[in-house]
Structure 1
Amino acid sequence: MAVSASFPRRFGLLLYPEFEVLDVAGPIEALIGLSQRGYEDMKLSIISHTLDPVSPGLNDFGRAIRYLPTHTFETAPQLDVLLVPGGLGTIEGIPSPDKPRIDDYVDYVRKAYRGYDGHEPLQYIFSVCNGALVLGKAGVLDGQKATTNKAAWKLITPSAPKAHWVASARWVESGNVWTTSGVSAGADGMLAWMASLLPDKLVTEVADGMEWQRVWSSDDDPFAELNGCEDVLPEEE
């Protein structure tokens, strides 16, 4: 199968303390699978506020897991795609000794999306779960359709009052902005994003390699009804 020269190669993963592990693992697993099928030149940068190890945990069990950033906000390279996971670290008011200012992450997302200091704008930005809250605060979702974690629907949707929040969606494509529902939905959204750019046969091989039971419809999200979520329309000017 021919390799696409136009498919993005430079990926970034934004990490902050108390991120959700599966938000990261699902999409990254799909990208790893693709990198093993002709796209070995893909690059991944792991970006955080410092180069210190980043833990997803609120307690000793979770803090035993540590991820190592490769770049800070200041040293982050040019990216084509930025992945923003969710997690309790985006929610202010939850005490933690490790939590940095989420506004610093919001500022980086805002700049990376639009381009800054010689960096070109992102080709795509992709959020999982309440990672959409960071995109919302950065203004990325203004005028866009979006979705997010359904259990925290009423907490997250006010972050982007100019967005149309789609309750029934497992993932939403809105121009170059992709948002997904909670946790496991990130893998389905990433596979859908890949399929929008690559032959579906290749993406199916990636999903089969993950032994992932793929959700094919973007509107197939039972957790919206479970949590009583309804669409939130953009505020009128």
Structure 2
Amino acid sequence: MPETLNVAVCICTGVTLSDFIPNIEILAELNDADDPVFSKLQGIVDVPFRVKFEYLSPTLDPVVSLRGKCAPTFNPTTTYAAAKASGTQYDIIFVPAGEPSVPEDLIAFICTQRPRFALRQEGDDEQGILSHYRGVFSSVQGIKFDLTHGFIEAATPKDIKWVTKARWAVDGNIWTSSGVAAGYDMVLAFIEHLVGPPTARVLRDAAEIRDATQEDDPFAEFHGLV
């Protein structure tokens, strides 16, 4: 029987929609293994995990994205405070970029989740935090982070170990990517970590995303970081 992984998608005002919606769609394709027709056609077999998503925000009000009210808004399903109060622990936390100042309740929420990650047992590799550039860096310290290159000089706190040339970076169970499209490669690499290369290969080809490695980062030179 496949195990269901609970995914918390942490959003707030100013979120970049393309930072999380395509990534969630890619991750959600793990659930296609339950469709016998699709799984047979695509070659998705023996997938040990399914995913269930919850969308968290400071309030239940529709979240206005970076592009303002002219762009689609997004309806959260619960609040950080409610999730914290319920003691819910998630298997995967996905934090796209939002407003420059990360909401305090988001930081508090992540801090209640991190002890479970720190205490994970061998074999519990499915637990992880995934983030786009400045989505989560201000709430953790002493971690290697990739970041959209234009934000590195302004990033705080200073004890974070920035990786200036990387498509994405991994430190333990924390995965971070640089700009928008880099997140697709990070999520596909995470899927490969979860379920192995064959399924990740199928999902990459289905989405028509070219192969990339962590070192495939031409934009570091463009921004003068190497």
1:30 corresponds to which letter in structure 2? I
Q: Does 1:130 align with 2:134?
A: yes
2: CA distance, partners of 1:152 / 1:57: 16
Given that residues 10 and 79 in structure 1 are in contact (C-alpha distance below 8 angstroms), is that contact kept between their aligned partners in structure 2?
yes
1:198 shift after superposition: 1.4
Gaps of 5+ in 2: 35-46, 117-125
Gaps of 5+ in 1: 93-100, 116-121, 231-237
2: CA distance, partners of 1:57 / 1:162: 28
The CA RMSD measured in Å over matched residues stands at 2.1
1: CA distance, partners of 2:157 / 2:15: 20
1: CA distance, partners of 2:172 / 2:166: 16
**What's the counterpart of residue 122 of structure 2?**
none
Structure with greater strand share of residues = 2
Structure with greater helix share of residues = 2
1:41 shift after superposition: 4.1
Q: Does 1:171 align with 2:168?
A: yes
* Alignment match of 1:19 (pick from 15, 23, 29): 15
**What's the counterpart of residue 113 of structure 1?**
114
**What's the counterpart of residue 226 of structure 1?**
222
Deviations 1:93-128 (A, max 9, x none): xxxxxxxx722222222222235xxxxxx9211101
**What's the counterpart of residue 119 of structure 1?**
none
1:194 shift after superposition: 1.1
1:4 shift after superposition: 6.2
Given that residues 127 and 178 in structure 1 are in contact (C-alpha distance below 8 angstroms), is that contact kept between their aligned partners in structure 2?
yes
2: CA distance, partners of 1:48 / 1:33: 24
**What's the counterpart of residue 193 of structure 1?**
190
**What's the counterpart of residue 67 of structure 1?**
74
**What's the counterpart of residue 31 of structure 2?**
35
Deviations 1:140-171 (A, max 9, x none): xx232111111222122xx2322211111110
Runs of at least 4 residues of structure 1 off by over 3 A? 38-41, 57-60
Q: Does 1:79 align with 2:90?
A: yes
**What's the counterpart of residue 46 of structure 1?**
55
**What's the counterpart of residue 103 of structure 2?**
102
Secondary structure of the residue that 2:104 maps to in structure 1?
helix
2:199 corresponds to which letter in structure 1? L
2: CA distance, partners of 1:178 / 1:143: 14
Given that residues 30 and 51 in structure 2 are in contact (C-alpha distance below 8 angstroms), is that contact kept between their aligned partners in structure 1?
no
1:190 shift after superposition: 0.6
Secondary structure of the residue that 1:43 maps to in structure 2?
strand
2: CA distance, partners of 1:214 / 1:34: 19
Worse overlay, 25-34 or 170-179: 25-34
1:25 shift after superposition: 1.9
2: CA distance, partners of 1:171 / 1:4: 28
- Aligned residues, how many? 200
